[in-house]
Amino acid sequence: MRYLVRSLMVLAICLSALNAESQEYSAGSAEPQELANARALLQAGREDIIRDEMRFSEAEAALFWPVYENYRLELTGLRDRYADLIVGYLRAYRDGAVTENDAVRLIDDYLDIKSKQLQIRKKHLEYFREALPPRKVARFYQLENKLDAELDAQLAMFVPLMDPV
């Protein structure tokens, strides 16, 4: 699939930025430009994939993109929080300082992020249904799931497992 190749390229750039971020980030500092650029590229890549794969009519596009923008804006904070969680873990792992409390916080925060992501998807479903026919709504959610799964798969290869003791 065409979108998969493009998403992998975008994700590779993002992971590079996360790696740089994990090495250079310090608490309270401004967001590094590399991470901001990676986030912008990831979003642009998602939009390109959606545009290519959804094959909207002009009328559908006119209704879809404003709804998508609201949806995307609501997810941005969660995606940033997820990136921060990963960066914090990578920093602690690199420094050999992952504590039991860190482990509790990591899993609690991860599950909270995933739960809120699902809540946002459910909330926006009605708006997407108002903008698009049911099959296109289903296709859009499939694309979102595939893109997120690809990101998670790439992160799984990039992020080391926590030491058990």
Listed in sequence order, the residues at least 6 apart from 6 whose beta carbon sits closer than 8 Å to its beta carbon are: 45, 48, 49
Residue 143 lies in domain: 2-158
The verdict on residue 165 lying in a domain is no
Angle at 86 between CA 82 and CA 91, to 5 degrees: 145
Q: Which residues contact 89 (CB under 8 A, 6 or more apart)?
A: 98, 102, 106, 159, 162
Give the Å distances, CA to CA, from 82 to 32, 113, 131, 135, 156.
16, 7, 29, 30, 13
pLDDT digit string (tens) for 13-67?
455 555 554 445 444 444 556 556 666 666 778 888 999 999 999 999 999 999 9
Instruction: For residue 20, count CB atoms less than 10 angstroms from its CB and return exposed for 0-12, middle for 13-18, buried for 19 or more.
Output: middle
Mean pLDDT of 117-133: 97
Q: Which residue has the higher pLDDT, 84 or 41?
A: 84
Q: How many distinct structural domains can be found in the chain? A: 1
Instruction: Please give the model's pTM, rounded to 2 decimal places.
Output: 0.77
Asked whether residue 164 is assigned to any structural domain, the reply reads no
Residue 115 lies in a domain: yes
Q: Is residue 75 part of a domain?
A: yes
Question: For residue 163, is it within any domain?
Answer: no
Per-residue pLDDT, 15: 53
Instruction: Please state the separation of Cα 3 from the chain's center in Å.
Output: 16
pLDDT at residue 18 in the model: 52
